[in-house]
Structure 1
Amino acid sequence: MAASGVRFTQGYSAGAVCSPTRIALYTGRHPGRIPGGLQEPIGRANDRDGIPPSHPTLASLLKGAGYSTHMVGKWHGGFLPTFGPLKSGWDTFYGNYSGGLDYFSKYAHNGLYDLYDGETRVEDPRYYTDILTEKATAVIRAGAREHRPWLFNLNFTAPHWPWEGPGDKAVSDESHGATAGRRHPGAVPQRRRLAGQVQGARRAPRSLDRQGARRAAPHRPGPGHDRALRQRQRRRAVQPTTGPSPATRPASTRAGSGCR
């Protein structure tokens, strides 16, 4: 994907856990600019923690520019009924609202069932990574038939808790989804294999060469990175902890030939 698309080689994470990083990616702002971005991560439904439906997002801005917008997989930007992808600019969504869920039972860490098509609960006992791959392939093939550009966010949960492999159905049944302490080595290879299937679906239609998904390349720090990091840390150590923070504004988003 990267070879035929646009590589963003200077990307930095806005946090170390789920919700802040996603809120930063989707809003183009420092996550602490909204209350939901201060949660590490968002753990329960309330009317405060999430991306406000009125807030511009990557999806809402591209949708306004004529894109169709789709998400498959993990959202973790706020829970229903107040927050969700369909309220923040995505046309379609299939996946989970929480941070992670049992790969078979689809129950999340909070004990609630968490597999949805849009905002409607759906049942599917199959291995979750397989389901996401199937849905992602369908979105890409449908996008190839469209006569307009599209945005597609594919958010696999693997290798997130509970680290179950495709052969761990019996473990899931025995524990009723409470398998947080168990790691299965098959989860990551399975995700890699299925990600290859999604990429293969993208290669098939020729129209995707013109408007297909774009993938960000991992950042590789240059030789001066460590020195610059130490300098920034020293400056932070002497800065006061009180007083107003510098004003910032949302990062602008411009429609291009395609997005991830």
Structure 2
Amino acid sequence: MKSSRLNYRFLSVLALFISMNLYAQTPQTKKDTERPNIVLILCDDLGYGDLACYGHKQIKTPNLDQMAKEGIRFNHFYSAAPVCSASRVGLLTGRSPNRAGVYDWIPHSSESSSPHMRKNEITFPQLLQKAGYATCLSGKWHCNGALINTNQAQPQDAGFDYWFATQNNAAPSHKNPVNFIRNGVELGPIEGFSCQIVTNEAINWMEDHVKQNEKQPFFIYLSFHEPHEPIASPQKIVDTYKGIAENTNQAEYFANVENLDKAVGSLMNQLKKLKINDNTLVIFTSDNGPETLNRYEAASRSYGSPGELKGMKLWTAEAGFRVPAIMHWPEKIATGQISDQVISALDFFPTFCDLAQASNSKSLNLDGSNFTPALHKKKMTRHKPLLWIYYAALNERQVAMRHGDWKISAKLNLPRYHNITSKNFPKVTAATLSDYQLYNLSKDKSEANDLSNQNPKKSAQMIKFLKLQYQDLLEDSHTWK
């Protein structure tokens, strides 16, 4: 581990040197010091009901609860997809992942023809880089099938000066992972638990960055593996849930969430120590809803909670993609807010570009909108409805759209497709929407009352609008050969 730490310091200084020289070429103005640092914390499979501040009765999440008290907790925040890879690609590109050709989770593969986020995709970290930000990724990547392989785009191609990542899950589990890669160099075994490891890496990078160039703003993408299987948690925390949890496996899950909460606490404390807390926007959320217990052989510890929502991960019902979201920015966000505005991970792209004063071309056909007004108790304007087409959905309806308070979902008469290729694309284009369901989510959070027959006028309006949006996305979706 000693040589690994030395390697980290060398690579960290090198990355900072490069980013400082790039930044030096951009004339600094008074606005440079006003632009916030941005830290985006993304969990893996954390359910809507998994935090104490979202109603969980057993799991202890004091750091996230405090973060919510000091900032905003969102009740209607959505991921870009109900599954990991697609969600992450949508988050980075600000567009439906279907446009990028990532429809589901990405299996391990080094082939250029297998699904991945291609090099021609524009990501917001690239634009933040061009605007003078230093950028860092620490944690799970899963936007391609193989790291350190030139056949597929790598984190540096997506705009990260510095990266410390795994292609998919931490292996063999969250404890003592062996599959981390730092800036293209495989590291081998690392002692500790994944959420603490990736947080410490981000903190070390941040400390070095602030020491070298405190005036240069930064972006950190801190991507936890927790609480995705294979789950492993510190025994001391697991022991505190014995007698509270139903069994040892559930205690492991509860402890897993508490452990990631502790990692968030470490980061927040370090921001204060470095005296950069006030002008740092920290966002905490999840890539999709909770895994279904025992859905596959290794999911025996998947005790995530959807709260009051219907469905789970891989569903187009609310629990598939409505997730916790907390935002903290002492200099700009008033404390103790609870917001019912509809926000999406697709919105990070235009919002971060606005805050960073970065170029944001209209030609990108973004699906997200700028939610900056929502941070200041003002109503944001959404220029497109939120639309999900997930061909491998576990529930009956593969298509869902949220527009204002209303949500409509529909069936496609298709098999469960994990990818769209030139072979199955004709069947996809020939399929028609049917069997609609309509819900008013402002009054019916759990999707218990289908209003399609009770409100035929609204139903007809939403069906017409859905068909237009569906066709637009279908025509712009990438098809693999």
- Deviation of residue 130 (structure 1)? 2.1
Give 1:201 deviation, angstroms: 0.4
| Residues 33-112 of structure 1 aligned to structure 2 (within 5 Å) | 33-35=99-101, 37-39=102-104, 41-45=105-109, 46-47=111-112, 48-78=114-144, 79-80=146-147, 81=149, 82-101=152-171, 102-106=173-177
d(CA) in 1 for partners of 2:208, 2:70? 20
2:258 alignment partner, SS class:
helix
Q: Select 2:282's aligned residue among 214, 234, 238.
A: 214
Unaligned runs of 5+ in 2: 1-66, 237-248, 285-324, 327-338, 343-403, 407-438, 442-446, 453-457
Cα deviation, 1:158-188, whole Å, max 9, x if unaligned, reads: 11101111239xxxxxxxxxxxxx5513211
Within 2, Cα distance between the matches of 1:238 and 1:65?
37
Aligned positions, number: 227
CA distance in 1, matches of 2:207, 2:139: 17
Query: Who wins on radius of gyration, i.e. which is larger?
Result: 2
Q: Which residue of 1 aligns with 2:317?
A: none
One-letter amino acid of the structure 2 residue matched with residue 209 of structure 1: D
1:19-63 deviation per Cα after TM superposition (whole angstroms, max 9, x unaligned):
11110110111100012x212x11122323221123210110110
Deviation at 1:96, TM superposition (A): 1.1
**Which of 179, 183, 203 is the aligned partner of 1:114?**
179
Q: CA deviation at 1:155?
A: 0.9
Equivalent position of 2:426 in the other structure: none
User: Contact 1:137–1:198 at 8 Å: present in 2 too?
Assistant: yes
1:171 alignment counterpart: none
Cα deviation, 1:130-180, whole Å, max 9, x if unaligned, reads: 211211221232343322111111111111101111239xxxxxxxxxxxx
Query: Within 1, Cα distance between the matches of 2:176 and 2:233?
Result: 13
- TM-score after normalising by structure 2: 0.41
Give the letter for the 1:63 counterpart. Q
Counting only pairs closer than 5 Å after superposition, residues 141-152 of structure 1 correspond to structure 2 as 141-145=207-211, 146=213, 147-152=215-220
Does the 8 Å CA contact 1:24/1:31 hold for their aligned counterparts? yes
Match of 2:472 among 241, 245, 251: 245
Quote the RMSD (CA, aligned, Å).
3.6
Q: Is the 8 A contact 1:68 1:148 kept in 2?
A: yes
> Displaced runs of 4+ in structure 1, greater than 6 A?
1-10, 231-234, 237-241
> Do the aligned partners of residues 6 and 142 (structure 1) sit closer, same or farther apart at CA in structure 2, a change above 3 Å counting?
farther
Cα distance in 1 between the residues matched to 2:72 and 2:161: 24
Q: CA deviation at 1:192?
A: 0.7
Asked if the contact 2:202–2:222 (Cα under 8 Å) also holds between the matched residues in 1, the reply is: yes
Query: In 1, Cα distance between the equivalents of 2:217 and 2:167?
Result: 26
Cα 1:166/1:69, change in 2 over 3 Å: same
What CA distance in whole angstroms lies between the structure 2 residues aligned with 1:137 and 1:14? 27
1:220–1:84 Cα change, 3 Å: farther
Q: Would you say 1:227 and 2:440 are equivalent positions?
A: yes
Partner residue in 2 for 1:29: 95
TM-superposed CA distance for 1:88, in Å, is 1.1
Q: Distance in 1 between matches of 2:115 and 2:183?
A: 19
Q: Give matches, 1:117-136, under 5 Å.
A: 117-123=182-188, 124-136=190-202
Q: Secondary structure at the match of 2:283?
A: coil
**Is the 2:174–2:226 Cα contact (8 Å) retained in structure 1?**
no
Q: CA deviation at 1:86?
A: 1.4
Q: 1 CA distance for matches of 2:223 and 2:208?
A: 18
Aligned to 1:163: 231
The question of 1:193 aligning with 2:271 is answered: no
Q: Name the residue aligned to 1:179.
A: none
Unpaired runs of 5+ residues, structure 1, are 107-112, 169-181, 250-260
Identity %: 21
Correspondence for 2:84? 18
**Structure 2 residue 221 is the aligned partner of structure 1 residue 153:** yes
Paired amino acid for 2:221: N
